[in-house]
Structure 1
Amino acid sequence: MTDLIAELEALRARDLPTHGGRTLAYVYDSGLPDADEIGRRALAMFASTNGLDPTAFPSLAAMERDLIATAKPLVGAPDGAVGTVTSGGTESILLAVQTARDAARRERPSMVVPTTAHGAFHKAAHYFGVRVVAIDVDPVSKRAVPEAMAAAIDEDTVLVAVSAPSYAHGVVDPVAPIAAAAAERGVRCHVDACIGGWVLPWLDHEPWGLDVAGVTSLSVDLHKYAYTPKGVSLLLHRDPALRRPQFFASADWPGYTMLNATMQSTKSGGPLAAAWAVVRHIGTDGYRALVGTTVDATRRIAAAVAAHPHLRLAAEPDTTLVAVETDTALDVFTLSDEMLVRGWFTQPQMGFRDLAPTLHLTVSAATAADEFLADLDEAVAAAVAAGPVQVAPELRAAAAQLDPSTLDDAAFDGLLAAAGLSGDGLPTRMAPVNALLDAAPPRLREALLIAFLDRLTR
């Protein structure tokens, strides 16, 4: 057993740190060791329970009801609202889309979303045959444009979606006018509050939740700013009738009647129990304090970025996410590499349509703003000294002409080698790889990364 633990520790040592506030994407650190400890204990205690059948494990059903009851007043849900615990924000969004599609029964179902909507909506479209109608956001505020969203609703629309906030730029879409336009056409409106739904309740912000007329469903992740272990999200519907198409049952076989509220059948009760324990432990006052700490750090970082001669904000952040653009003296990909050298993981985001590449920062309660900003100054200076990565014009032209559907395995091997994504592991410096991916059209970028993932998991 000692050898196995040592082997696990050796494997884990290669990962990004999940505590300390230096990984500014993927993980969330409250800085509260006691909350982490109770989450781990609950996770282990309920790891072998199975959420497939709530009559077999009534403890899980009780904890799920408690979490929904806790969330309802925070997101403005009416008394009759109902909810479901899912494995994460993507599953919550998948279920929202599937439920809207099944309820509307359109021959060619579509959904209207801003271009900044989370990629999970595109995944849902792929899985469920719902066409995405993506509407450009305001180029300055990065928010959805209500008039454009409303104009895109037609007889095929089964769902309209908005973000609170968007992951890419950290801004809250204008929920009220968009939800009103959806309601006027008899269309559901989903608010993706996966990343902001446990922050916005403690901020002074215009209405964004189920208290907004026309909003029919909302998703909020607990493994983000509720600081619970992965992976727990909540999907809430305004009333039981709206949720009913989400459920699946099948008696067309000789075994037990399959009955599911989520995409999963068997699912460990561990994450649910851990979320229940951590949410109870931290409590409303604890979350208010955590949000205050996090928002203060976010505002200090945003102010410093706005004042920097080589940096600018892609948009003024509404919650705890910051998107950083650069001037032409450097690029976000080299800047990301330089921050990693200094012990900070920051996430480079590719350009899209008229939206520039950005550096994404997810600020947690444990993020030390002063340390971050000191290292950011050094990293910018180093990135300016190195200069932006140059992608040869002929390579850009060739990428624009490539049709990924015509490429075979050998062609992908060659392209991955050219991009620096072949062999074992990743290159030490990702800037040349990311700059090349940024130059590739979205379909080619997707195909290259799928090919890379395929080879990584062989």
Structure 2
Amino acid sequence: MTASTPPAGPGRSASPAGRGPHPGPVARGADPRGLLGRLDALRETDLPVRGGRTMAYVYDSGLDGVEELAAAAQARFAGVNGLDMTAFPSVVTLENAVVGRAARLLGGGPETAGTFTSGGTESCLLAVLTAREHARRTRGVTSPELVLPTTVHAAFHKAAALFGLRTVSVPVDPVTYRARPEDLAAAVTPDTALVVVSAPSYAHGVIDPVAEVAAEAERRGVLCHVDACIGGWYLGHLRHADGVPHPPAFDLSVPGVTSLSVDLHKYGYTAKGASVLLFRDAELRRHGWFAHASWPGYPVVNATLQGTKSAGPLAAAWAVLEHIGTDGYTELSRRVHEATASLAAGIGAIDGLRVLARPEASLIAVAAEDPALLDVFVVADEIRADGWYLQPQPAFGGSPANLHLTVTAAVAGEETVHSLLSDLGRAVARARALGPAAVDPALVEAAAGLDPDALGPEEVELALTLAGIGADGALPERMAPVLAVLQALPPRLTERLLPEVIGRLYHPEPAVPPAREAEGPSGEGG
């Protein structure tokens, strides 16, 4: 016992040095084993996150031990608060290492600066916020605009809505689905704060002509952001692989590119949420930071939209990046490239299907050759019954209804690719026999006359009922009829109804009697 450790006394117990006396036992709720069992039971209703059969939302390296390493690293830093780096200098060390690795991979130089964020959406939001403030402070822009291809991620429209920018959406090439530099350039005005391109675009998996667009933006004195959230880590390492085509230049090495976002929890295979936003230099980055000292509390400086934030995802990302390493990621990227090429070729050979554009990364969009004969939303329902999830993408502009496939390293391998193609072929045959999901023409006609901003509760209720959504918010087992209705509605009306659909799923759970709080998933104590 040392002088700094008080002796245990009545109602107090000794504790590890530095933590003070422990107050002793307290009343507890449910047994931990029962709680974990209940969580396991809940997970049984979810899509699988391992094995490569969920081809959206999740990313699986297929490597043993990566998930366990990430969990262990995250647990060690779960209580570390990234709000104050002076109190937790480990956060600075880890972030510098992670951002430095991203900068070296993606064309950065000695002046490159960056920020670790919670995910792609936050990275995109911060890129837009930084551009708005840069335009205001350096050019006096008071009505800032975003120039965006129609294929850009929804996160940029969210940023515009949150931060008060006007969006200028520019149609893409109807065959290649890539942005056209001359069209984006023509949309730039003195009020343009930022031009955005994708590497690749999520919907079609193609890479916009970054060099040409960035040159046009630079010529006009406008910032240019590359959204490489989903593809940057994969494409960056694919450039090091032998025997595969290398992607065109898309990163900070391209003149005129001023910022770039890349998610680590995608093809870095780290735990969610982990993303990096890179800037050409710290002078540009500072425009997006928030600082406040005009209050009686502690001085505040935030590099992200969050204040308090766990350093757990940062530690997990650092550990996984160090563990897999450059050679490991290069090999994983090569595997993904080969699997993507095999799948695209195999899907194109299935009667009734076609691949939209030519995949330039790890994403595939699959449409029907004749939508009157084959409904890809019905195909999605059919193949989900076989244990695969292909993400439905409704028609928009010149892009037809299609299915999205995110190909990860876990899909790589002849057996998995063959299994998916075989199941998809059978699902197509069943979907063709079932026929397309029908939409009442009268419903479409009536919907065309509705004002989304004037809909009351009764009109919303009627519209959702016609779409097949119950009052309790429960979604039907087969989503093709719902998707067909939503696709047929005007986009603004769909945007009005979607929050109503999702909002019905979320409502406070009723109070649980105290006696039941300690019960396990089957109603018995853990």
**TM-score when normalising by structure 2:** 0.86
Looking at structure 2, the residues matched to 17 and 307 of structure 1 have their Cα atoms a distance apart, in angstroms, of 28
State the 1:349 CA deviation: 0.4
Looking at structure 2, the residues matched to 199 and 340 of structure 1 have their Cα atoms a distance apart, in angstroms, of 27
Amino acid at match of 2:233: W
Q: Which residue number in structure 2 is paired with residue 387 of structure 1?
A: 435
The match for 1:359 among 392, 398, 403 is: 403
Q: Contact (CA 8 Å) 2:473, 2:501: kept in 1 or not? A: no
Q: Which residue number in structure 2 is paired with residue 432 of structure 1?
A: 481
State the 1:308 CA deviation: 2.4
State the 1:437 CA deviation: 0.6
Amino acid at match of 1:197: G
| The 10-residue stretch of structure 1 (212-221 or 422-431) with the greater mean CA deviation from structure 2 | 422-431
User: Is 1:163–2:198 an aligned residue pair?
Assistant: yes
User: Is 1:293–2:307 an aligned residue pair?
Assistant: no
Structure 2 residue runs without a partner (length 5+): 1-31, 240-245, 508-526
Q: Contact (CA 8 Å) 1:335, 1:383: kept in 2 or not? A: yes
User: Is 1:253–2:295 an aligned residue pair?
Assistant: yes
Q: Which residue number in structure 2 is paired with residue 281 of structure 1?
A: 323
Task: Tell me the SS of whatever aligns to 1:348.
Answer: strand
Amino acid at match of 2:152: A
State the 1:409 CA deviation: 2.1
Q: Which residue number in structure 2 is paired with residue 398 of structure 1?
A: 446
User: Is 1:310–2:352 an aligned residue pair?
Assistant: yes
The match for 1:336 among 380, 388, 391 is: 380
Matches within 5 A, 1:110-259: 110-201=145-236, 202-203=238-239, 204-259=246-301
Task: State how many pairs are aligned.
Answer: 458
Amino acid at match of 1:431: A
Looking at structure 2, the residues matched to 140 and 48 of structure 1 have their Cα atoms a distance apart, in angstroms, of 50
Q: Which residue number in structure 2 is paired with residue 60 of structure 1?
A: 91
Q: Contact (CA 8 Å) 1:169, 1:323: kept in 2 or not? A: yes
Q: Which residue number in structure 2 is paired with residue 454 of structure 1?
A: 503
Task: Tell me the SS of whatever aligns to 2:262.
Answer: strand
Amino acid at match of 2:331: A
Identity of aligned residues (%): 54
Q: Which residue number in structure 1 is paired with residue 14 of structure 2?
A: none
For each residue in 1:225-276, what CA deviation from the matched residue of structure 2 results, as whole angstroms up to 9, or x when unmatched? 0000100100000011111111101112111111100000001111110000
Q: Contact (CA 8 Å) 2:367, 2:376: kept in 1 or not? A: yes
User: Is 1:442–2:491 an aligned residue pair?
Assistant: yes
Q: Contact (CA 8 Å) 1:399, 1:439: kept in 2 or not? A: no
Task: Tell me the SS of whatever aligns to 1:161.
Answer: strand
Radius of gyration: which is bigger?
A: 2
Task: Tell me the SS of whatever aligns to 1:271.
Answer: helix
Looking at structure 1, the residues matched to 71 and 421 of structure 2 have their Cα atoms a distance apart, in angstroms, of 32
RMSD: 1.0
Task: Tell me the SS of whatever aligns to 2:309.
Answer: coil
State the 1:402 CA deviation: 1.5
Question: Where has structure 1 moved over 6 Å in runs of 4 or more?
Answer: none
State the 1:411 CA deviation: 2.1
**TM-score when normalising by structure 1:** 0.99
Looking at structure 1, the residues matched to 343 and 446 of structure 2 have their Cα atoms a distance apart, in angstroms, of 39
User: Is 1:421–2:469 an aligned residue pair?
Assistant: yes
Amino acid at match of 1:175: V
Amino acid at match of 1:350: P
Task: Tell me the SS of whatever aligns to 2:233.
Answer: coil
For each residue in 1:65-98, what CA deviation from the matched residue of structure 2 results, as whole angstroms up to 9, or x when unmatched? 0011111121111221011000000000000000
User: Is 1:373–2:421 an aligned residue pair?
Assistant: yes
| The 10-residue stretch of structure 1 (361-370 or 118-127) with the greater mean CA deviation from structure 2 | 361-370
Amino acid at match of 1:432: P
